Each structure stands twice: as C-alpha cells, then as structure tokens.
Amino acid sequence: MKHIVALVILVLISCIGFEWLIIHTERKSLLAAEKKAKAAEAEAGNANVMAQQLSESNKVLRAGLLMLGNEILVASNDLKLAELQIEKYQAKEREIEELVALTLEQERQTKEGVKNSLKPTVVSSTNDYGRKIDKLVFEKLVGISGNQLATNVEFRGVYGRRLVFASNIRPIAFDVDEIHPWILDSLRVDAEEAKQAQQEIDHRKSSAIVIRQKYAEQAARLLEEQRRINEQFAVEMKRIQAESEREMRAEMLQARAVEAEELKARAAIMEAYKDPIQINNVQQNNQVVVPR
C-alpha cells in the first residue's frame, strides 16, 4: 500500500513538474513572440517614417525640378540676349580693328616719310688723284627726342661710341645715345656695338695706363736699386781703400822695421871689427831710431 501511495505521489510530482516545464516553455515562447511583435512594430514605425521622409523628399525634388526648369528657361533667354550683344560687340570690334589698321598705316606712312627725310644725301666728288669720293651729308641732324642738333653736316666716321661730323665751322661729335635711331639705321651704326667698341677702347687705355704705371714703378725700383748698389759700392770702395791704406801703412812699417833690423845687423858687424873705444864713440854718434 505504501508503495502504491509513493508511486502515486511520484506520478503526481512528475505530472506537476512536466506541466510546470510546459508552462515555463510556453511563457518563454510568449515572451519571444512579444519581443518579435514589438520589433516588428518598431520596424513598421521606422518604415512609415522613411516613407514619409521619402514623400517629403519627392515633394522637394519636384519643386527643385520645377525651379530648375524655370531657371533653365530664364538662362536660355539670357543666352539669346548675350549672343545678340556679342554680335554687336564683334561688329564694333571689327570697326575698331579697321580704324586701328587705318591709323597704323597712316602712322607708318608718316614715319616712312619722316625717316626718308632724315636720310643723308650722297654727294659725289673727285679728289686730286681722280678718285670718286661719296660724302654723306645731313641737311638736318636730329637727336633722340627729335630736336635739331646741326644742319648741313658731313658724316666722317664712328670712333668708339661717338659719331663725328664735319661742319663749316669745326668738327663736331655726338654720342650714339644723342642721335636719333633712324639716323643710326641710315648709317648702319649699331648703338650696342659702338658702346662695346668704346668699352674696348677704354679698356685698352686703362691697360696702357696700368702698363705705363707698372713700367714707371719698375723704373723707379730699378733706379732705387741702382742707387742702393752705388751706395753699397761707394761704401765697399771706401772700406777697400781704408783696408788698402792700412795694409800699405803696415807694409811700410814692416819694411822700416826690417830696414832698421838690417842697419842694426850691419852696425853690429862693423862694431865687431873696431876697438871698444871706437865702438862706444860710434854708438853714441850713430844711434838708430826704430819707428813705432
């Protein structure tokens, strides 16, 4: 009986546990379903919001397209007006170009006329030897600013950067920067080449001055060296003369001493052949003085 009751109790406990497990599982399923439902509702809400945003965007886009169409229409009208204005400007530019071309042609002709008037006149003559000589004579010599420098002058040549002319009074010269370029062209004179030639002339002059200065300094050094050598020579000659005089005096003194010694020797020999009394008398009467 106890076993049956225990078995019944065990079965009841098992049933209760199984039901609780079923209830718990269903509860979890319900909670998961509820979460899914809430997530679906949130996604649906987001979808609605996005749909509303898309709708608003479409409205804005349609308005923008409409405004763009209006702007394109206005721009097209402005472009047509601009094309008409450009055509007017181009016609005006053509008129201005034609006027400028006409003005430039007139200026060119005027310059040519003035340039031709500034060219020299070739005057031919024959010298004493029958040789033909062509002279370039300028009726009017014009400066760089158009000012008149001289009249009726003959071109003689270019010396460095100076152009020399002969007038009725005296020769005159002008720098290349003072002469009008058209006159330089007529004489085939290049201003830069003339300046370069002048620089070479100045360089040669300065080189010659430097060379002359070097020669002068060298000559001065040679003269000073010669003077110093002469002084040294004079001093050496004085020294040699003094030494010669000293040697001569010493030789004379030595010769006198030798002569005195010889006299003494001769006197001694002579005294050896005399009596003592005569020797004493001779010594008293013939005393020899030896120079010092």
In angstroms, the CA 55 to CA 62 distance is: 11
- Give the residue carrying structure tokens 């809400």: 45
Is residue 20 predicted with pLDDT exceeding 70?
Answer: no
State the pTM of this model: 0.38
Higher model confidence: residue 193 or residue 169? 193
| Per-residue confidence (pLDDT) for residue 12, from 0 to 100 | 67
pLDDT for residue 240 = 85
pLDDT at 27 over 80: no
Measure the CA–CA gap between 52 and 40, rounded to whole angstroms: 18
**Side-by-side strand order, sheet with 132-142:** 121-126, 132-142, 148-159, 162-166, 171-175
Is residue 172 within 8 A of residue 161, CB to CB? The reply is: no
Higher pLDDT, residue 20 or 82: 82
Tell me, what's the pLDDT at 221? 83
291: confidence class by pLDDT, cuts 50, 70, 90 = very low
Burial label for 194, CB within 10 Å (0-12, 13-18, 19+), is buried
SS3 letters across the chain: CHHHHHHHHHHHHHHHHHHHHHHHHHHHHHHHHHHHHHHHHHHHHHHHHHHHHHHHHHHHHHHHHHHHHHHHHHHHHHHHHHHHHHHHHHHHHHHHHHHHHHHHHHHHHHHHHHHHHHCCEEEEEECCCCCEEEEEEEEEEEECCCCEEEEEEEEEEEECCEEEEECCCCEEEEECCCECHHHHHHCCCCHHHHHHHHHHHHHHHHHHHHHHHHHHHHHHHHHHHHHHHHHHHHHHHHHHHHHHHHHHHHHHHHHHHHHHHHHHHHHHHHHHCCCHHHHHHHHHHCCCCCCC
pLDDT tens sequence across 86-107:
888 888 888 888 888 888 877 7
Helices (H), 122-190: 181-186
Kindly report, residue by residue over 206-262, the tens digit of the pLDDT: 888 888 888 888 888 888 888 888 888 888 888 888 888 888 888 888 888 877 787
Percent over 90 (pLDDT), the chain? 3
**What is the band of 174 on the pLDDT scale with cuts at 50, 70, 90?**
very high
At residue 292 the predicted structure's pLDDT band, cuts being 50, 70 and 90, is very low
Q: Which range has the top average pLDDT, 43-47, 172-176, 273-277? A: 172-176
User: Is residue 2's pLDDT more than 60?
Assistant: no
Domain coordinates of the chain in residue numbers?
Answer: 57-118, 119-189
Is residue 270 predicted with pLDDT exceeding 70? yes
Average pLDDT over residues 258-287: 66
CA distance 6 to 105: 138
How confident is the prediction for the chain on average, in pLDDT?
A: 79
Residues 62-75: tens digit of each pLDDT: 887 888 888 888 88
pLDDT at site 281: 56
- Which range has the worst mean pLDDT, 99-113, 178-192, 195-209, 220-234? 99-113
Q: How much is the average pLDDT of 104-124? A: 76
State how far the Cα of 231 lies from the Cα of 82, in Å rounded to an integer. 105
